[in-house]
Chain A
Amino acid sequence: MQKYILRRIILLVPTLIGMSFLIFAMVRLLPGDIVDALVGLDPTFTEEQKNVLRESFGLNDPWPIQYAKWLGGMVQGDFGTSFRSREPITEQILRALPITLELAILAIVFSIIVAIPLGVVSALRQNSQVDFWARFAGLIGLSVPSFWLATLFLLFTSLTFRWVPSVIWISPLEDPLGNLQQMFLPSLALSVQLMAVEMRMVRASMLEVLRQDYIRTAWAKGLDLNAILYRHALKNAFIPVITIIGIQLGALMGGSIIIEQIFGLPGVGWTMLQGIFNRDYPVVQVASLFLAAAFVLINLSVDLTYAYLDPRIKYS
């Protein structure tokens, strides 16, 4: 078991390196470079001037050197400098990270509040009206694009309450209520799809657990429903559910990009997007690697937690 954990953690390193290499290669291989993008078709810029610019960006070094420099810097915590703003990217990411994290966590909290009770009730009253409508709503929730939902929310609040969300980020440290107000709609929009997946999982998992022999024994012993649920059923049913939630948390790292863009929340996804629009390649590299690495790390933690929680799993 210890060896399994160690092996997975060690395997993380080549995966991360491989991903960083892929991103680096994509950015360098694809057409157009930053200087052409910055300068455009401005005829007053001669080739030599462009080359000087390229030199200053370090673009004239051979690729292996560029890659080594970049990777070496990252390991030491220096993520490079933005082409556009000349600001250290490390600071940008550190500012953006808590925003994305808060969005993801709030979305998951909202989804759990609805999905778990609904899933449990749906399983307990299988094939009833409640179950049917819950499953139907679940299927619809899976197909609703979150950016459309966010748009509809904004439409509703602006038409009904004459309210639009703030355009500047309100930190929770300065104004918790204002921050919550700002984050409420985006988290809600994100949470709907999560809810649908979780509800299905809770229902399926509960149904399976309720069929087990030990539940039947408890029932025969005379335990009432509440006791059965809280002492036996829920704990076991939740193992796969926690796994799904963990995976969703990882997926939210990338999935929140569009929502961040709609609401103007300067998170990691938004930073990456702005980098793409501005042809700011260092920012794109670091931000996308960051999101990908977060995704991989979270998935790994989920796997390890799952192995830890479920005593039936034995890894040789």
Chain B
Amino acid sequence: MSEEQISAFQPQSTRQPMSQRSIMSRTGWLVKNHPIGFLGGVIVLFVIFTAIFAPLIATHDPAAQKSKRLLPPSAEHWMGTDELGRDVYSRIIYASRTSLYVGVLSVALAVVLGVTTGVAAGYIGGTFDNIVMRFVDILFAFPALVLAIVITGLLGPSLTNAMIAIGVVFSPRFARVARGSVLSVKNEVYLEAARVIGGKQWHIVRLYVLPNILAPLIVLATLTLSLGILAEAGLSFLGLGTQPPDPAWGLMLSQGRKFMELSPGLAIFPGLAIMVTVLAFNFLGDGLRDALDPRLKL
């Protein structure tokens, strides 16, 4: 049999794996093959931009109660005013900061807690692994919202505590994924080779283990971000997250609910903001998952 007929000798694809390509080429891939993911990415960038440049985009001071209350949308107040006479549009713009702040920091906390735990458990193995994962499983066994509400409620309702609660609630997911990835590469030959030539433990972890588990973690992080933003909205809706008078979409929704018959915009706009942001992160996560799927070997 000639070499061409033996499939093992056929190149899978001549292109580079996604993780080694440049950002430009990865973006181009997303645009062509996963337009929804690209759209998500664009909206996410837009939301980030809004949050960073909020003072430039907002038309009024979000805390100023100067205007008449419950005005409908007009040229001066693009989304009308709320029950205290504040400009709704500006509050929504500034609230994007709260959502992104909580979303990013809670995911960061979840990543730090979860990944260190998972990597340690997977790498060290044995009884340590058993005990740690037992604890992680117990945490994981709780319905997310219940745990978040209990933690926030007991710590005291505030933005920071909501962030901590959400971070803790989502860390078991990262622990599991990290541990799974570590276990799958633990026995690879190149690790043994590294040990043989004298590499220290921490060095090995950093240089070989971590880059290999990056892909699933990035996807999980993006999807957790969307859940985190949703959770923050839910917690502030219940009064357990951001406290008045700070602007937060969930809080605006719960406060505006009481007056929504007089001014429907109060119930519509904050919810719309939540939905668009969560949608964008979900789209982006979908796209990233397809892009970083190692099996595709694109």
A interface residue numbers (CB < 8 A to B): 15, 18-19, 22-23, 26-27, 30-32, 139-140, 142-145, 147-148, 151-152, 154-155, 158-159, 250-251, 253-255, 257-258, 261, 269, 272-273, 276-277, 284, 288, 291-292, 295-296
Contacts and interface: CB of A to CB of B under 8 A. Distances in A.
Question: Closest 4 interchain pairs by CB?
Answer: A254-B143, A148-B271, A276-B153, A143-B279
Interface in B105-146: 134-135, 137-139, 141-146
Contacts of B268: 152, 155
A269 B233 CA distance: 18
A276 B142 contact: no
26 contacts: A15-B137, A19-B141, A22-B139, A26-B150, A26-B154, A30-B154, A32-B156, A140-B279, A142-B282, A143-B226, A147-B233, A147-B234, A147-B237, A148-B275, A151-B267, A154-B257, A154-B260, A253-B143, A254-B142, A254-B146, A258-B145, A261-B238, A276-B149, A276-B150, A276-B240, A292-B146
- Overall SS of chain A's interface: helix
Contacts of A159: 261, 264
B251 interface: no
A142 B226 CA distance: 11
B238 A273 contact: yes
B288 interface: no
A23 B150 contact: yes
Contacts of B270: 148
Given A18-B138, A257-B146, A277-B153, 7 more contacts: A22-B139, A26-B150, A145-B234, A148-B275, A258-B234, A292-B142, A292-B146
Nearest to A158: B261
A9 to B, nearest CB: 15
A257 B279 CA distance: 22
A186 to B, nearest CB: 15
B47 interface: no
B155 interface: yes
Nearest to A32: B156
Interface string B221-238: 000001000100110011
Contacts of A257: 145-146, 149, 238
A18 B140 CA distance: 12
A148 B274 CA distance: 9
- Overall SS of chain B's interface: helix
Interface of B: 36, 134-135, 137-139, 141-147, 149-151, 153-156, 226, 230, 233-234, 237-240, 250, 253, 257, 260-261, 264, 267-268, 270-271, 274-275, 278-279, 282-283
Contacts of B150: 23, 26, 272, 276, 284, 288
Contacts of A23: 150
Contacts of A295: 141-143, 146
Contacts of B240: 276
A23 B154 CA distance: 11
Nearest to A147: B237
A22 B238 CA distance: 23
Contacts of A30: 154-155
A142 B282 CA distance: 9
Contacts of A140: 275, 279
B238 A292 contact: no
A144 B234 contact: no
Contacts of B239: 277
Contacts of B267: 148, 151-152, 155
Contacts of A288: 146-147, 150
A187 B256 CA distance: 22
Contact of A254 (B139, B145, B250): B145
A291 B271 contact: no
A194 to B, nearest CB: 15
A154 B256 CA distance: 13
Contacts of B135: 18
Nearest to B137: A15
Contact of B146 (A139, A142, A147, A272): A272
| Interface hub of A31, A142, A145, A158 (most chain B Cβ within 10 A) | A145
Contacts of A148: 253, 267, 270-271, 274-275
A255 B231 CA distance: 11
A30 B271 CA distance: 32
A197 to B, nearest CB: 12
A258 B257 CA distance: 14
B141 A251 contact: no
A277 B156 CA distance: 10
Given A23-B150, A255-B143, A257-B149, A151 B253 contact: yes
A152 B261 CA distance: 11
Contact of A139 (B145, B238, B283): B283
B250 to A, nearest CB: 8
B219 to A, nearest CB: 16
Contact of B151 (A26, A142, A254, A273): A26
A105 to B, nearest CB: 17
Contacts of A284: 150, 153-154
A206 B291 CA distance: 25
A272 B149 contact: yes
B238 A145 contact: no
Contacts of B253: 147-148, 151
